[in-house]
Amino acid sequence: MTTRILTAPPQARTAPPAGALRKGALRDGLVGVAIFSGTLAATRLALASFEPIALTLTRAALAGLVAAAVLMVLRQPVPRRSDLAALAVVTGGVVLGFPLFTAFALGQIGAGRASVFVRLLPLATSLFGALRAGERPSRAFWLLSALGSAVTAAFAGRGAGPGSLFGDGLMLAAILVCGLGYAEGARLARRLGGWQVVAWATVLALPATLPAALWLLPTHPRPVTPTALAGLAYVTMLSALVGFVFWYRALARGGIAVTGQLQLLQPFLGIGIAALVLGEAVDPMMPLVAAAVAACAAGARRLA
């Protein structure tokens, strides 16, 4: 008589437990948020030498060249034709749209005030996650998410630096296109992988960004300073590439709406970085508000 040995399929044997996935998503998400928190301050530094359009095209082109080299060296498969529309949304939202809108906004408002507008990004990401990825968080999740956004909105009302209606509107547009790009990229990351999504998104933009950047830079009137180059290097390598490696992986593993709540912490980290790097004033209430927002984010993740 032959004895049959029942074994679990390879996926069941190798799949990590759900708790490990959530812990990994939390870790990756916090790293991504920390990296993104420096984006506005670095952009403000780069704007000292680069016009907003030239800065956006240059960072996108440089990131695309680096991404293309990495994809070739690692011999990554080309995305399916059916993925191109979603990749185009990611390109328009996070590779071009968010950097361009924020670059123009930072010509009107301070980096600290712009950082506060990121309070709306978790709601935008969760909303587009529900619309595009079919996620359905609980009512308690939406309540705590809205509460966290309301707390940061009240904090913004205290004044986080010089502002203008035009600059605020540009930041609002930046948040909307970024939330859509996050949700769409997270959907693709579940199959393509986190870093592959942002890499292909920047490569997809190269036919437009590289010629435009080469055309604009020689006619650029401002002297390029080391500080501006440091800002450009940050937004090119960290904001446009490395941050998304962690962020898209976190969204794919932990859920778009749930993991997106970590962005509630980003305005406060951004304000702190703006104070350290740019010397912008910090509201003394910020630590208490940040703690309240962190509690809302933790509760939303638990009750989702």
Task: State the Cα–Cα distance between residues 156 and 100, nearest whole angstrom.
Answer: 22
**Residue 286: its pLDDT value, please?**
64
| Residues constituting the chain | 304
Res 200 pLDDT > 90: yes
Of 19-23, 147-151, 174-178, 203-207, minimum mean pLDDT range: 19-23
Helix (H) or strand (E) holding 232: helix 226-233
H-type alpha helices, 193-225: 194-216
Q: With CA atoms as reference, report the closest residue to 104 among 26, 149, 40.
A: 40
Domain spans of the chain, in order of start: 36-303
Give the pair of three-digit tokens for residue 273.
């970085």
- Residue 92's CB is within 10 A of a number of other CB atoms, namely 18
Q: With CA atoms as reference, report the closest residue to 261 among 123, 152, 154.
A: 123
Average pLDDT over residues 217-235: 84
**Residue 211: its pLDDT value, please?**
93
Contacts of 189 (CB under 8 A, 6+ apart): 196, 197, 248, 249, 251, 252
Task: State the Cα–Cα distance between residues 274 and 115, nearest whole angstrom.
Answer: 9
225: left (phi over 0), alpha (psi -120 to 50) or beta: beta
274 HSE (CA, 13 A, CB side): 28
**Residue 297: its pLDDT value, please?**
65
Give the pair of three-digit tokens for residue 265.
């912490």
In one-letter notation, the amino acid at residue 162 is P
Give the pair of three-digit tokens for residue 189.
């990351």
For 247-269, write each residue's pLDDT tens digit. Answer: 888 888 888 777 877 877 787 78
161: left (phi over 0), alpha (psi -120 to 50) or beta: left
Task: State the Cα–Cα distance between residues 284 and 124, nearest whole angstrom.
Answer: 28
In one-letter notation, the amino acid at residue 152 is T
For 64-90, write each residue's pLDDT tens digit. Answer: 999 999 999 999 888 888 889 999 999
Confidence of residue 16 (pLDDT cuts 50, 70, 90): very low
**Residue 135: its pLDDT value, please?**
64
Task: State the Cα–Cα distance between residues 189 and 295, nearest whole angstrom.
Answer: 28
- 80, with CB counted inside 10 A (0-12, 13-18, 19+), is exposed
- Among 27-36, 144-153, 155-164, 253-262, which range has the highest average pLDDT? 27-36
**pLDDT above 90: percentage of residues in the chain:** 23
Q: What is the DSSP string of 63-107?
A: HHHHHHHHHHHTTPPPPPGGGHHHHHHHIIIIIIIHHHHHHHHTT
For 37-68, write each residue's pLDDT tens digit. Answer: 999 899 989 988 888 888 889 999 999 999 99
Task: State the Cα–Cα distance between residues 292 and 299, nearest whole angstrom.
Answer: 11
